[in-house]
Amino acid sequence: MRMSNLFLTTLREIPAEAETPGHRLMLRAGLIRKLAAGVYSFLPLGYRTLEKISNIVRQEMNATGAQEVLLPALQPAELWQESGRWLKGGKEIIRLKDRNDRDFCLGPTHEEVVTDLVRHEVRSYRQLPLMLYQIQTKFRDELRPRSGVIRSREFIMKDLYSFDRDRKGLDESYNKMYVAYDAAFRRCGLQTLAVEADPGMIGGTDSMEFMAPSDAGEDVVIICNTCKYAANREAARIRTTTGENEPEKEMETVLTPEIRTINQLTDFLNLPAERMVKTLIYRNGEGRMVAVLIRGDREVNEFKLVRLLNSSELILAEPEEIEALTGAPVGFSGPVGLEEKATIVVDSDVAEMRNFVIGANEANAHFINANTGKDFSPDIIGDVKLAGSGDPCPECNGFLVEERGIEIGHIFKLGTRYTQAMHATYLDETGTEQTIIMGCYGIGISRLAAAIIEQNHDEQGIIWPASVAPYHVYIVQISPGDKRQAEMVRQLCATFDSGGIEYILDDRDERPGVKFKDADLIGLPVRAIIGPRSLESKQVEIKCRRSNEEKKVYLADAAMEIKSILGGDAFVCTI
């Protein structure tokens, strides 16, 4: 491809809209352009990378025995009503009506559509296991689209669905996907971390996220400094601190005029926040009040709380609701006497504490020397803490640390979440009807491109891994008007063509400095220069973008040398 023909404008200025280094580079290197908030066009260089990523992912999915399909993006509301997600999906689902006033949505995901397909086609156990996938556009009306294609409203995703006879089959499909994901990300030049995740809106039991560690990531990953434990913040567990041995004292009331916060209480009673217990009041979807007890220096992880309560919804109560429940203004809530009126959830660490401070459900008063079990009865004891740096690891004696990451893949064991609601069944060997067991597995293809750049760049521009670079080599012809240089370039391009090396030839009538700047910004793995010096020496100057190593090689050896720099995976998914 000649630079003079390429549909590309690089930008010198840093675009004001860009939020992360990768977003800036994708705009500056002309990979993407914005159409509307969270809606982007991919230009030729960006699209080539997308195609290469798709091909790598496709190869790894095919290798597991999965089959590629293409399902409609336009989906009838009836299917979503059947699974119960039409209402639950809220404003994230882009909804529309057809000319006959029928409700449709633009698919944010395809569990319903693929389950509908499978329930009509699969009859017998002989047709299972089955894995179907597609690489297709998805739509989610994000509240805050950001960082370019990292969180956009229209994006390309690979989604795969597994259908098995039983749990054991699901485990096998899930493990196959885990291995395939790991391979695909490695081949794309990404460092990733597989972390425990919360199944969230999709539903189901086990789930893992694949995170690309990056400061530009909006997810917080919690990892152990000693063992391999890793989880996203929503799912991160914390080891419960061992019990205190202090004998239980008699609970007493202390007056705490206008002392409503843990900080004020700490100063007033001259006790550390670890000796206090906060009581937070929530209301669940059924209107039942829930009192959650957590150590004063801790925050509640509402995802864990929802799972522990098996609740569909949980909202912090309004001040009037708290007053109606406890008989005291906000800031003085406690569990004593609430047993009949609310579900009392005690964090596992609080259950181990002795003689702590807690609200007395009376204005301007707290209790000291309160104890779980003695002064109030919990309904549920469990880990509802939000994990952070310094917390004890749930798997070993190490400590947890926080890291930022970009979620690029997610695998779920759905079980019968959809197949039961939508009656997707098969007949086993005895002719008995059984519900199909399902899994789902996603990779954000366009987000992957962004994550690769976040992990692979420097001040000058992108540093593409060879396997997903739009082209392999950036050829700079120093003097485009020079016939002898042009002839050398022609010979070089001929060796590249026959060797399967993809290149951009910068034949523009620009100063060399401009071309070198663009070469670094676009970030192809190798730069090759043909200039006046090449004419005498018959040599090409080649430079590796990543290592900055430069060498001069004879024209005849250039293709071989470049191939060894690129490595084998550069040629597996060429376009």
Residues within the interface to Zn ion (CB under 5 A): 224, 226-227, 229, 393, 395-396, 398
C-beta separation of 519 from 476 below 8 A: yes
Q: Which of 384, 324, 335 is nearest to 359 (CA)?
A: 335
- How many whole angstroms separate alpha carbon 61 and alpha carbon 180? 7
C-beta separation of 341 from 335 below 8 A: no
Per-residue H/E/C for 57-101? HHHHHHHCCCEECCCCCEEEHHHHHHHCHHHHCHHHCEEEECCCC
- How many whole angstroms separate alpha carbon 573 and alpha carbon 575? 6
Question: Mapping DSSP to helix (H, G, I), strand (E, B) and coil, where does residue 199 land?
Answer: coil
Residue 239 or 295: the one with the smaller Cβ distance to Zn ion is 239
Residue 45 or 224: the one with the smaller Cβ distance to Zn ion is 224
DSSP 344-374: EEEEHHHHH--SEEEE-SSTTEEEEEE-BTT
Residue 226 or 261: the one with the smaller Cβ distance to Zn ion is 226
Residue 230 or 281: the one with the smaller Cβ distance to Zn ion is 230
- How many whole angstroms separate alpha carbon 483 and alpha carbon 403? 54
Q: For the beta carbon of residue 228, count every other beta carbon within 10 angstroms.
A: 10
Q: Rounded to whole angstroms, what are the CA distances from 517 to 226, 500, 511?
A: 43, 26, 10
Residue 398 or 499: the one with the smaller Cβ distance to Zn ion is 398
Residue 154 or 391: the one with the smaller Cβ distance to Zn ion is 391
Residue 267 or 395: the one with the smaller Cβ distance to Zn ion is 395
User: Minimal distance in Å, beta carbon 236 to Zn ion?
Assistant: 12
User: Minimal distance in Å, beta carbon 427 to Zn ion?
Assistant: 46
User: Minimal distance in Å, beta carbon 233 to Zn ion?
Assistant: 16
Residue 208 or 521: the one with the smaller Cβ distance to Zn ion is 208
Torsion angles phi and psi, residue 362, rounded to 5 = -150, 135
User: Minimal distance in Å, beta carbon 396 to Zn ion?
Assistant: 3
Residue 224 or 473: the one with the smaller Cβ distance to Zn ion is 224
User: Minimal distance in Å, beta carbon 349 to Zn ion?
Assistant: 18
Residue 224 or 381: the one with the smaller Cβ distance to Zn ion is 224
- How many whole angstroms separate alpha carbon 447 and alpha carbon 219? 14
| Residue whose structure tokens are 């156990």 | 125
C-beta separation of 133 from 163 below 8 A: no
Give residues with Cβ within 8 angstroms of 547, minimum separation 6: none
Q: For the beta carbon of residue 554, count every other beta carbon within 10 angstroms.
A: 11
User: Minimal distance in Å, beta carbon 545 to Zn ion?
Assistant: 38
C-beta separation of 250 from 243 below 8 A: no
User: Minimal distance in Å, beta carbon 400 to Zn ion?
Assistant: 8
Residue 139 β-bridge partners: 154
- How many whole angstroms separate alpha carbon 144 and alpha carbon 146? 6
User: Minimal distance in Å, beta carbon 238 to Zn ion?
Assistant: 11
Q: Rounded to whole angstroms, what are the CA distances from 22 to 149, 402, 504?
A: 10, 21, 22
User: Minimal distance in Å, beta carbon 378 to Zn ion?
Assistant: 28
Q: Where would I find the H helices in 101-160? A: 111-121
User: Minimal distance in Å, beta carbon 241 to Zn ion?
Assistant: 15
User: Minimal distance in Å, beta carbon 391 to Zn ion?
Assistant: 11
Residue 386 or 437: the one with the smaller Cβ distance to Zn ion is 386
User: Minimal distance in Å, beta carbon 197 to Zn ion?
Assistant: 18
C-beta separation of 545 from 497 below 8 A: no
User: Minimal distance in Å, beta carbon 228 to Zn ion?
Assistant: 7
C-beta separation of 79 from 129 below 8 A: no
DSSP 501-546: --EEEE--SS-HHHHHHHHHHHT-SEEEEE-HHHHHH-EEEEEETT
User: Minimal distance in Å, beta carbon 231 to Zn ion?
Assistant: 11
Residue 203 or 405: the one with the smaller Cβ distance to Zn ion is 405
Residue 338 or 393: the one with the smaller Cβ distance to Zn ion is 393
Give residues with Cβ within 8 angstroms of 494, minimum separation 6: none
Residue 161 or 229: the one with the smaller Cβ distance to Zn ion is 229
Parallel, antiparallel or unpaired: strands 503-506 and 193-196:
unpaired
Burial code of 498-511, b = ≥16 C-beta within 10 A, e = fewer? eeebbbbbbbbeee
DSSP 146: B
Number of helical H runs and strand E runs in the chain: 15, 29
